[in-house]
Structure 1
Amino acid sequence: MKVHEFMEKHGIGESRVRIFDAELGKEICGIFETGLYYDCEVSGAYPAGRNTVLEVASVNG
């Protein structure tokens, strides 16, 4: 499932999502940066306080 599909399905807004880019090995937190990952496949998801972290392979994958 792609990032934007996951957010829509679970009712998660942009301000509550953080992306973990597995290729870079770090979290991406800005709304603009998160938008770059909308079409990436989610490989994992986990809670982080009030936010949800979505793990993706990379911005290209």
Structure 2
Amino acid sequence: MFSQGQILFGVCFFIAFVIVMIFAYRKDLKLHKVFYKGNYKVLLAFLLFIVLLFVIKIFLKR
């Protein structure tokens, strides 16, 4: 499906992307602590909502 070169490019691109994202996050870490306090609550609420939708789907399917 993919050639050897395409796979190699994809792996190299992914590694480079992750490294750049780590450096960018570390550079902005002070700003994240100031402006994004409590964002884990939003993530937790979103995940609970998704789980609730799956539970409703399972119970209504029976």
Structure number with higher helix proportion: 2
Q: By percentage of residues, which structure has more strand?
A: 1
- Shorter-chain TM-score above 0.5: no
Using structure 2 for the length normalisation, give the TM-score. 0.19
Q: Relative contact order (alpha carbons < 8 A, sep ≥ 6): 1 or 2 greater?
A: 1
- TM-score, normalised to structure 1, is 0.19
